[in-house]
């Protein structure tokens, strides 16, 4: 069943309004849905609905609420991936798969070994494109919230962002760590729900020695296994392990 996202204020007691012109065009021209067809709708806040289309107009779709319930597809753990910006083409795959796995937000980070220059004129265009990838992925996998692709950060800005009590757990994925595994880290945690977790993944070539030392001062490094994973694989693998241990 097709899923759409609306603002909380567009949800009434008995009816939901779809106002996004792109969604309306997709619903009517691509999916060719008609009044009487059922769709799924998220209010982008707390609840998801099963609804029946009652009217399709050029700038508005009305849908009658059939069922309402709290999000089923959202993990209680809120995971933020701080991803060292990879070479062109890889970020879209990272965004798509990490959204499917349950990431809450992704922050592209410029590090010492990042190949892409932060002086480029198309950074905001890239971020908007990645956000569209996230939007499509979340509709396909049935989640209730759309993960956000945050603005680019420098490594120093990332360190400031994770200082204090912004996160309950910091996970520093480091290819040179050989003893402490992410499994050891996660299984040593006391039982709790709703943790805010930050994952740090370097670009191709990993973090520099200076960056690794700065991260080590915040959190002990962990390994994902005996093999060295590519930057586009590491975040996905870590998220899968994280949710396996903390959600199931």
59 with 100, same domain: the answer is no
66 with 115, same domain: the answer is no
Consecutive 10-residue runs of the chain (248 residues): their mean pLDDT?
Answer: 93 95 94 96 93 96 95 90 92 96 96 79 88 92 92 96 92 93 93 91 94 95 93 96 88
Q: Which CATH number does the domain housing residue 59 bear?
A: 2.40.240.20
45 with 93, same domain: the answer is no
Give me the domain span that covers residue 48. 3-70
Tokens of 245: 């241990």
Global pTM reads: 0.89
52 with 116, same domain: the answer is no
66 with 83, same domain: the answer is no
pLDDT attached to residue 191: 82
195 with 118, same domain: the answer is yes
86 with 207, same domain: the answer is yes
Count of the separate structural domains present in the chain: 2
148 with 234, same domain: the answer is yes
């Amino acid at each position: 069943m097709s899923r759409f996202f609306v603002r909380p204020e567009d949800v009434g007691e008995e009816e939901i309004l779809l106002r996004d012109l792109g969604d309306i065009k997709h619903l009517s021209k691509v999916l060719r849905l008609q009044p009487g067809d059922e769709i799924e709708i998220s209010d982008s806040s707390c609840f998801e609905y099963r609804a029946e289309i009652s009217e399709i107009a050029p700038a508005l779709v009305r849908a009658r609420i059939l069922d309402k319930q709290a999000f089923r597809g959202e993990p209680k753990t809120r995971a933020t991936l701080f991803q060292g910006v990879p070479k062109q083409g890889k970020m879209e795959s990272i965004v798509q798969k990490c959204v499917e796995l349950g990431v809450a937000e992704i922050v592209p980070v410029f590090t010492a070994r990042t190949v892409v220059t932060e002086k480029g004129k198309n950074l905001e265009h890239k971020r908007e494109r990645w956000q569209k990838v996230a939007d499509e992925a979340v509709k396909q996998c049935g989640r209730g919230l759309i993960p956000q692709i945050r603005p680019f950060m420098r490594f120093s800005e990332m360190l400031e962002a994770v200082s204090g009590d912004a996160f309950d757990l910091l996970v520093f994925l480091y290819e040179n760590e050989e003893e402490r595994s992410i499994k050891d880290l996660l299984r040593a945690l006391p039982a709790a729900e709703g943790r805010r977790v930050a994952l740090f993944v370097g670009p191709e070539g990993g973090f520099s020695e200076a960056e690794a030392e700065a991260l080590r001062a915040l959190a002990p490094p962990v390994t994902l296994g005996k093999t060295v994973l590519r930057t586009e694989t590491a975040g996905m693998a870590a998220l899968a392990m994280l949710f396996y241990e903390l959600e199931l």
